Amino acid sequence: MIVTDKPNPFQVLGLPAHAANQEIVERGQELCELAESDAQRLLYRWAMEQLITKSLTRLEYELFEIPDAQYEDEEWERFIRLHRNNPIDIAALAAENPPPGCEDFDLQALVMLYLTAMLKAPKGDLKTAVEHSPFKPGVGLSPLEVRDVIFG
């Protein structure tokens, strides 16, 4: 039975799902020797036991394992090592470039954009106007007055 409170044993050991028992034992012993704490050592031992002693549990983990899973990404690790330090000195860039001021912006263009957006007439919604008419349509003259037309 798969234990849900612990990670996948294949992931813990960093092995593919098709790993042989001998590979599992070798990798587990190697990781147990290199473990920095007792908790890590117990986790590695638990992963070995799950995969070696319980064949049905191993089968479950194999079935639910993502095909061709790679738990160690060497390209990513190399990228991290190369770019560990930030290549940009932010303090030097800030000292080199003053903050933008009013002279850096075209105020006339900004005002024109703002006014164009503000003065743009909204589209008329005829359906709403007809449904919310100030008078009921019927026979005869409409009771529409000037204030209804002006103020809605």
pLDDT at 59: 86
Architecture of domain 9-70: Orthogonal Bundle (1.10)
- pTM over 0.75? The answer is no
pLDDT at 26: 92
Residues 72-90 pLDDT 10s: 667 777 887 777 777 788 8
Reference 15, options 28, 3, 2; nearest CA is 28
Residues 101-142 pLDDT 10s: 888 889 899 999 999 998 888 788 888 877 887 766 666 666
pLDDT at 25: 92
Count of helices and strands (H, E) across the chain: 9, 0
Confidence of residue 65 (pLDDT cuts 50, 70, 90): confident
pLDDT at 41: 92
What whole-number distance in Å separates Cα of residue 71 and Cα of residue 10?
A: 9
- Domain ranges for the chain: 9-70
Structure-block tokens of residue 134: 């100030």
When the pLDDT of each residue in the chain is averaged and rounded to a whole number, the result is 81
**Cα–Cα separations (whole angstroms), residue 145 to 110, 124, 148, 151:** 42, 21, 5, 10
User: What number is the average pLDDT over the span 90-101?
Assistant: 85
The pLDDT of residue 53 is above 70: yes
